[in-house]
Amino acid sequence: MKSSRRYKVLSRYEAGILAAAVPDVLGRAGTLPPIDEQKVVEWVDGHFLAESPRDFRLLYRLLILALQFLFPLLFGSKYKIFLSLSSEEKQRLFEKWSQSRSYLLRNAFALFRLVICFAYYGQDEVARAVGYDAGAKLEGALKRQVVRD
C-alpha cells in the first residue's frame, strides 16, 4: 500500500490505511464499477480534507489511526492491526463498527464512510452506473433554460 505520492493533508501512512479500507467500506456488487482506491484517497485528501476546517481534518486523521490500531481490538476476534486483516475480516469490522452499541462509534463510522461515499459515488461513471447521469441532467436543464430565456 506504500505510495510515493505526496498528499496535502494525510501522511503516506494514513493514506495507505485509508486506501486499504476503501474497498471494504464500499463493498462490491455486480453493477457497480471497480473501485479505484487511489482515486478515492486522492479525492478525500485533496478535495475534501485539504479545504475542510482544521478540527474536521484532525478528527478524520484520528479516525484513520484508530482504524489501524484501536478498532481491530474493539471489533475483531483477535487483535491484529487493520493493515494485516484479510478482506473478509475488514468487512466484518466495518459491519460491527457500523452497528456498534455506542452511538459515538456509530456516528464516527457514518462520518468515515460519508467522505468515502462522496469520493466514490460522486464520480460521474459510478453515479451513471446506479442510474444518475449528471451530464444528461445538466444538458436537459440547460436546454429548458434556453427555451425559457
Site residues (vs another protein, CB under 8 A): 24-32, 47-48, 51-53, 55-56, 90-91, 94-95, 97-101, 103-104, 106-107, 109-111, 113-114, 117-118, 120-122, 124, 126-127, 130-132, 134, 137-138, 140-142, 144-145, 148
Closer residue to another protein, CB minimum distance, 13 or 47 = 47
Gap between the Cα atoms of 31 and 12, Å rounded? 31
Residues 102, 105, 106, 107, CA torsion sign: positive
Gap between the Cα atoms of 41 and 95, Å rounded? 21
Burial group, residue 131, by CB count within 10 angstroms (0-12, 13-18, 19+): exposed
Compute the least distance from the CB of residue 4 to another protein, in Å. 27
- What one-character DSSP code corresponds to residue 33? P
Closer residue to another protein, CB minimum distance, 84 or 102 = 102
Closer residue to another protein, CB minimum distance, 81 or 142 = 142
